[in-house]
Amino acid sequence: MIEILGCLTYEHNLPLLFLAVGVCCMACFVSANVVRRLRLVARGHRVIWAIVAGLVYGCGVWATHFIAMLAFQPGLPISYAPGLTAVSALVAVLGAALAFPLVQASGKPRRGRALAGGTVLGLSVGAMHFMGMSAMRLPGTVEFSPPHAVLSVLAGGGLAALALARRFDRRRGRLAAACLLAVSILCLHFLGMAGTTILPDGNVEVAGGGLDGHLLAITTAAVVAAIATVGLSSVVLEEKLWGERTRDAARLRRLASGTFEGLLIHRGGTILDVNETLARLVGLPAAALVGHDITRILPAGVASRLRADPEAVANGTAALELELVTEGGRSIPVEILSRVIEEVKTGWRRRARLQPACAVAIRDLTERKRAEAQIRYLAHHDGLTGLPNRALLADRAHQVLELAAREGRGAAILCLDLDRFKTVNDVMGHEGGDRLLAQVAERLRASLRASDTVARLGGDEFAIIKADLDTPEAGAALANRVIAALSVPYDLDGQVFEIGTSVGIALFPGDGRTVPRLLHNADTALYRAKRDGRGVYRFFEPAMDQRLLERRAMERDLRVAVERGEMFLVYQPQFDTMTRELVGQEALLRWTHPARGVVPPSDFVPLAEEAGLIIPLGRWVLETACIEAAGWPVPCRVAVNLSPAQFRQPDLVAAISGILERTGLPPQRLKMEVTEGLLIGDTERALTVLRALKAMGIFLSLDDFGTGYSSLGYLRRFPFDELKIDQSFVRGLGRDVESAAIIEAVLALGRSLGLSVVAEGVETEEQLGMLRSRGCPQVQGYLLGRPARSGEFFAAAVTPRLPETLLAASPHMHGSA
């Protein structure tokens, strides 16, 4: 130690010595930073950075040594052999360039590497030192003490190893490393110098040597400073670029992860990168995918296609759809698109580019598939009941028929139409009607097997496809089961409704071999079932078809009949048997069909009722009858027939009062003829409406009396003014005793309830006589007047009265009854 200190203070020029230390520290500090970069840059760039580190450190060490040598003033003229001096510098540069790449990039440094690096550094710096010393030319001899030489190399190398074991990724670590390196260099140099003895010898000739030591030292320091500056600036520049690159990469990663598609980049099937979306999709962390083969995610078949030709799977427009099985075993529908992307640069080692990098986008189709399924469901199901709709029914029916044809078995299509469903709609509104339909659907489902299909065709129409139905008896049994299930009363908010269903059955293959044919024929049979009195089933018969076609055509024509002016009214007079006065005329509807001529109401009124056309038609009748009656010369009543369907219209009362107001006909002149059918079902409602009409002053007549439900109890409750004896009883007068008995009973009832009675269908004078003799107050019939256009009656009759001649046969007998 004393030797070192002595050597420093007595034999050195101090300012130059400080310059040497300064150069040393600067070189070490810059080197530490270059070394850190060297470990961070891409593999391909490392050699360059190792050279830079070697240059900075090696030149720095060499300059330190050289300046220190210049500061060494043993009192002899010294010069240096340029060749050896240069070689010594090269040794330092090479040693550093070899040692520094051994430094750990980040994390805990490895001791072995640090030791190896330190050894290389110690040896190279030592070699440089002693070579530099040997390059000295001076008048004398230089002697090294071997223990000092060994010690200096050991100390220098050890300290360098300690330096390389610092954490270069941390600022403090780098500073410590720089200090340790500087100390190691200085130690090595001055320990070496302490063991150096110079023996002056006047005989030794020294060549040249006129350069000023100071100038040389400063120039050397300046050169090293320049090198160090270049090194440092490249560190700073690289750092900046690197920062930008990492930010860019992070941004790209965020972007890639932000996409809804899973992204994967692979080269020749080896996954290079994936985004978070993909990792989430397959349920594996990105780390578990990168570096693996794409078969980790994709089915082998697809993977091999992708490997063979990345753009063959999908050329970027048409995607390939497949199912991915996730880590959890869930299978997800996806579509994939693949495309060769810009070849990823892997640095200056270009041989890495054997295959292009490809991007594969994997789009999760779960949502889309779900939406598609939803749409498909909606397109094939009825929204209200969830039953298949007509489209799906046809589809299923096709399958059933195909199978039946192949197996030589039978099948059936049943068409259903609810009876009295309209009543529910009228009373409970559409919302109530909808709820009832849902209950109906439930019952239908429950009464069928899962393999059968029940569909809602619309409104209150349903259809059933039954496979493996080989006998008509089986069809009948099914129909009966369905009818029974649907006729159990329904409860809607405490209101109980009884509806039923009519069923039409068409059998495969007898009634048709195609779905449309069978559906059509089942519908025809249904039509018949409805006409035959509801709540029954009918099998299709070929004869039904023609009639049905006719009815359908008629229905079409009926819809436009009023508009086209094909409807008109005729009036049939009603007389008082006592006074012979004309008391009223009944309006009867007529239709002049363009092809069929005049069609009787019995042919089209039921049709109009079924098709719902009776509502507008009935209004037209009412309005026309009121208008025409208002113009009659005699202010008798006009009787208008009302269908039960019309009666269920909620605004009937308002409509009638509106018509009366518009036409100016006094309510007392209007008679309404209703049938007993009106009184079944919602009697309370019927009662309310009848009372309202009665309150307006309208005359109420109960038509076809005796043919209906014949519960006489209602007569007392309902505000009728008149009973109309049905013509079947009048026809029976004189033929059977029952008819006469009924007529007598009705007349007695009328008298006891204070109701007027009118007998219709009076065709013979005999009938008229018998009615009069029993005290029937009013009569109507062909004998007394056929239905005729408005006003015709008044034009023909001199006086609008019952002709006296007709009464001749049985003069005034009713008084005796």
Q: Which residues are catalytic?
A: 760
List strand residue ranges (DSSP E) for 276-419, in order: 320-325, 331-340, 357-364, 411-419
Distance in Å, CB of 761 to ligand C2E, minimum: 4
Question: For residues 535 and 186, what is the distance between their CA atoms, to the nearest angstrom?
Answer: 117
Q: In 10 A of CB 561, how many CB atoms?
A: 21
The phi and psi torsions of 509 (rounded to 5 degrees) equal -100, -5
Q: Which of 118, 126, 231, 787 binds ligand C2E (CB under 6 A)?
A: 787
Nearer to Ca ion, 277 or 727 (CB): 727
Nearer to Ca ion, 152 or 641 (CB): 641
The phi and psi torsions of 344 (rounded to 5 degrees) equal -75, 125
Q: From the list ligand C2E, Ca ion, none, pick the one residue 523 interacts with, judged by a Cβ distance below 5 to 8 Å according to partner type.
A: none
Q: Which of 178, 194, 401, 621 binds ligand C2E (CB under 6 A)?
A: 621
Nearer to Ca ion, 525 or 702 (CB): 702
Helical H segments across 586-648, by residue range: 601-610, 614-630, 644-647
Distance in Å, CB of 504 to ligand C2E, minimum: 27
Q: Which of 261, 419, 703, 722 binds Ca ion (CB under 5 A)?
A: 703
Nearer to ligand C2E, 600 or 631 (CB): 600
Question: For residues 710 and 89, what is the distance between their CA atoms, to the nearest angstrom?
Answer: 134
Residue 600 binds to ligand C2E (criterion: CB under 6 A)? yes
Nearer to ligand C2E, 93 or 587 (CB): 587
Distance in Å, CB of 550 to ligand C2E, minimum: 19
Q: From the list Ca ion, ligand C2E, none, pick the one residue 676 interacts with, judged by a Cβ distance below 5 to 8 Å according to partner type.
A: none
Pick out residues in 258-317 that bind ligand C2E (CB under 6 A). none
Nearer to ligand C2E, 501 or 643 (CB): 643
Residue 121 binds to ligand C2E (criterion: CB under 6 A)? no
Distance in Å, CB of 803 to ligand C2E, minimum: 15
Question: For residues 398 and 395, what is the distance between their CA atoms, to the nearest angstrom?
Answer: 5
Q: From the list ligand C2E, Ca ion, none, pick the one residue 348 interacts with, judged by a Cβ distance below 5 to 8 Å according to partner type.
A: none
Nearer to ligand C2E, 31 or 767 (CB): 767
What single letter denotes the amino acid at residue 538? Answer: R
Task: Tell me, residue by residue from 558 to 597, as one string, x for binding to ligand C2E by CB under 6 A and - for no binding.
Answer: --------------x--------------xxx--------
Nearer to ligand C2E, 275 or 739 (CB): 739
Distance in Å, CB of 539 to ligand C2E, minimum: 31
Which range, of 62-70, 146-154, 252-260, 757-765, touches ligand C2E by CB under 6 A?
A: 757-765
Nearer to ligand C2E, 195 or 781 (CB): 781
Distance in Å, CB of 771 to ligand C2E, minimum: 12
Distance in Å, CB of 762 to Ca ion, minimum: 12
Of 128, 133, 228, 189, whose CA–CA distance to 4 is shortest?
A: 189
What single letter denotes the amino acid at residue 780? Answer: Q
Question: For residues 122 and 151, what is the distance between their CA atoms, to the nearest angstrom?
Answer: 11
Which range, of 267-275, 539-547, 639-647, 751-759, touches ligand C2E by CB under 6 A?
A: 639-647
Distance in Å, CB of 677 to ligand C2E, minimum: 10
Q: How would you classify the pairing of strands 495-497 and 490-492?
A: antiparallel
Distance in Å, CB of 720 to ligand C2E, minimum: 15
The footprint of ligand C2E on this chain (CB under 6 A) covers a number of residues equal to 24
Pick out residues in 662-681 that bind Ca ion (CB under 5 A). 673
Nearer to ligand C2E, 61 or 587 (CB): 587
Residue 704 binds to Ca ion (criterion: CB under 5 A)? yes
The number of helix segments (H) and strand segments (E) in the chain equals 26, 26
Collapsed DSSP state (helix, strand, coil) of residue 378: helix
b/e per residue 362-379 (b: at least 16 CB within 10 A): bbbbeeeeeeeeeeeeee
Residue 601 binds to ligand C2E (criterion: CB under 6 A)? yes
Residue 767 binds to ligand C2E (criterion: CB under 6 A)? no
Which range, of 164-172, 387-395, 413-421, 635-643, touches ligand C2E by CB under 6 A?
A: 635-643
Residue number with the smallest Cβ distance to Ca ion: 673
For 265-281, the DSSP string reads: EEETTEEEEE-HHHHHH
Pick out residues in 550-609 that bind Ca ion (CB under 5 A). none
Helix, strand, coil abundance in the chain, percent, nearest 5? 55, 20, 25
Distance in Å, CB of 725 to Ca ion, minimum: 9
What single letter denotes the amino acid at residue 306? Answer: L
Question: For residues 220 and 218, what is the distance between their CA atoms, to the nearest angstrom?
Answer: 5
Which range, of 297-305, 381-389, 682-690, 761-769, touches ligand C2E by CB under 6 A?
A: 761-769
Nearer to Ca ion, 540 or 571 (CB): 571
List strand residue ranges (DSSP E) for 469-549, in order: 490-492, 495-497, 500-508, 537-539
Q: Largest Cα–Cα distance in the chain?
A: 191
Which range, of 307-315, 637-645, 656-664, 746-754, touches ligand C2E by CB under 6 A?
A: 637-645
Of 161, 361, 148, whose CA–CA distance to 264 is shortest?
A: 361
- The torsion region of residue 445 among left (phi > 0), alpha (psi -120 to 50) and beta comes to alpha
Residue 452 binds to Ca ion (criterion: CB under 5 A)? no
**Whole-number CA gyration radius for the chain:** 58
Residue 722 binds to Ca ion (criterion: CB under 5 A)? no
Of 344, 304, 300, 335, whose CA–CA distance to 317 is shortest?
A: 335
Q: Which residues contact 631 (CB under 8 A, 6 or more apart)?
A: 790, 791
For 387-453, the DSSP string reads: -B-HHHHHHHHHHHHHHHHHHT--EEEEEEEEESHHHHHHHHHHHHHHHHHHHHHHHHHHTS-TTSE
Residue 641 binds to Ca ion (criterion: CB under 5 A)? yes
Q: How would you classify the pairing of strands 722-725 and 699-705?
A: parallel
Of 295, 245, 250, 314, whose CA–CA distance to 276 is shortest?
A: 250
Q: Which of 30, 781, 790, 800 binds ligand C2E (CB under 6 A)?
A: 781
Residue 643 binds to ligand C2E (criterion: CB under 6 A)? yes
The phi and psi torsions of 338 (rounded to 5 degrees) equal -130, 145
Nearer to ligand C2E, 79 or 764 (CB): 764
The footprint of Ca ion on this chain (CB under 5 A) covers a number of residues equal to 4
Residue 763 binds to ligand C2E (criterion: CB under 6 A)? yes
Distance in Å, CB of 726 to ligand C2E, minimum: 7
Residue 605 binds to ligand C2E (criterion: CB under 6 A)? yes
Q: From the list ligand C2E, Ca ion, none, pick the one residue 557 interacts with, judged by a Cβ distance below 5 to 8 Å according to partner type.
A: none
Query: Residues 53, 185: contact at Cβ < 8 Å?
Result: no
Collapsed DSSP state (helix, strand, coil) of residue 531: helix
Pick out residues in 665-724 that bind ligand C2E (CB under 6 A). 673, 703-704
Distance in Å, CB of 800 to ligand C2E, minimum: 18
Distance in Å, CB of 754 to ligand C2E, minimum: 23
Q: From the list ligand C2E, Ca ion, none, pick the one residue 643 interacts with, judged by a Cβ distance below 5 to 8 Å according to partner type.
A: ligand C2E
Residue 816 binds to ligand C2E (criterion: CB under 6 A)? no
For 75-144, the DSSP string reads: SS--EE-HHHHHHHHHHHHHHHHHHGGGS-SSSSPPHHHHHHHHHHHHHHHHHHHHHHHHTEE-SEEEEE
Q: Can you give the binding site for Ca ion, defined by CB under 5 A?
A: 641, 673, 703-704
Q: Can you give the binding site for ligand C2E, defined by CB under 6 A?
A: 572, 587-589, 600-602, 605, 618, 621, 641-643, 673, 703-704, 727, 760-763, 781-782, 787
